[in-house]
Chain A
Amino acid sequence: GAVVSQHPSRVICKSGTSVKIECRSLDFQATTMFWYRQFPKQSLMLMATSNEGSKATYEQGVEKDKFLINHASLTLSTLTVTSAHPEDSSFYICRVRDLSRDEQFFGPGTRLTVL
């Protein structure tokens, strides 16, 4: 079964609204989770590293006030796209690393469409 889940799988929203995407580790605890964005026909780009109990680390060029990350527990990280605009439409994927097995797992992704 799935090791990492994302919710929702698909969301359509109006411009200016905020959207929250959840990434859950179902099988193990994770102090670190990673958020990626994938534009159509492109590769995955790391947006930020989510750290349990502390602030997220953002990659260069990613606005931390626009993409709010909260890692409140060892099994849940959330990405909130604030005041979404059409250019934020993308496929968002989380990655979780199981240090005990030195394996990594990707969530199934969330397709965000901003009208």
Chain B
Amino acid sequence: AQSVTQLDSHVSVSEGTPVLLRCNYSSSYSPSLFWYVQHPNKGLQLLLKYTSAATLVKGINGFEAEFKKSETSFHLTKPSAHMSDAAEYFCVVSAWRDDKIIFGKGTRLHILP
């Protein structure tokens, strides 16, 4: 069985400060993990994915995430927030080669000027 928990429904940071969006997962098999971003009234855009290669994954727009098996975490970070980062972020888990994927409930990122 798989599950994913996004620990914060809302995160607010000031522009130029670091971003941390937390995600914990549970999976019976070696998981694939993804972070997607969704801007208002838009579809999903893939930020990055982990599929059992390097544990530190670099994505687009300066985002990165680290897979920590011991902590069952896959937190998303960015060193310096930009106003355009304000959006909804989803952590997603799937088992390798498994069609079913599980979405977290999402974290709304607010950027303060």
Contacts and interface: CB of A to CB of B under 8 A. Distances in A.
Interface of A: 32, 34, 41-46, 49, 91, 93, 95, 97, 102, 104, 106-109, 111
B99 interface: yes
B23 to A, nearest CB: 13
B99 A43 contact: no
A43 B3 CA distance: 14
Contacts of A109: 42-44
B31 interface: no
A44 B90 contact: yes
A102 B97 contact: yes
Nearest to A105: B46
A95 B103 CA distance: 13
Contact of B99 (A32, A108, A111): A32
Interface centre among B36, B44, B99, B103 (most CB of A within 10 A): B44
A36 B101 CA distance: 11
Nearest to A94: B43
B75 interface: no
Is chain B's binding surface mostly helix, strand, loop or mixed? Answer: loop
Given A42-B105, A43-B90, A108-B43, 13 more contacts: A32-B99, A34-B99, A43-B106, A44-B44, A45-B103, A93-B43, A93-B44, A95-B101, A106-B36, A106-B43, A106-B44, A108-B42, A111-B41
A32 B101 CA distance: 13
B103 A44 contact: yes
Given A43-B90, A43-B106, A44-B90, A104 B101 contact: yes
16 contacts: A32-B99, A42-B106, A43-B103, A43-B105, A43-B106, A44-B44, A44-B90, A46-B100, A49-B99, A91-B41, A95-B101, A97-B99, A106-B36, A106-B43, A108-B43, A109-B42
Interface string B77-108: 00000000000001000000101110111101
